[in-house]
């Protein structure tokens, strides 16, 4: 196995990790921004007011995009397993 193969697998893994994390992170970012905006407008400074909606939104994002995440992860794993003979042989 050469260094290019290792770098390709590492790059693919990092891209997959970013793709899988994006729906939850973007959802939490948007909800956090909206809640912060509402807090600044109404001058309510409560910590749990910003935490609970973000947690609920992240859970909903996981429920909505969970099937896609699992299928992407399974596809990546199948591709890795199909690369094994090529990596060991050459």
CB 88, CB 69: distance < 8 Å: no
Q: Which residues contact 69 (CB under 8 A, 6 or more apart)?
A: 20, 23, 62
Decide if 26 contacts 82 (C-beta within 8 A): no
Task: Render each residue's pLDDT in the chain as its tens digit; 90 residues.
Answer: 788 988 999 999 999 999 999 999 999 999 999 999 998 888 888 777 888 999 999 999 999 999 999 999 999 999 999 998 888 885
């Amino acid at each position: 196995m050469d260094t290019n193969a290792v770098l390709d697998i590492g790059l693919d893994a990092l891209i997959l990790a970013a793709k899988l994390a994006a729906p939850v992170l973007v959802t939490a970012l948007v909800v956090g921004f909206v809640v912060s905006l509402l807090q600044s407008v109404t001058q309510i400074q409560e910590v749990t007011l910003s935490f609970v909606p973000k947690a609920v939104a992240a859970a909903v994002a996981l429920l909505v995009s969970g099937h896609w995440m699992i299928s992407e992860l399974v596809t990546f794993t199948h591709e890795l397993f199909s690369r094994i003979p090529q990596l060991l042989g050459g």
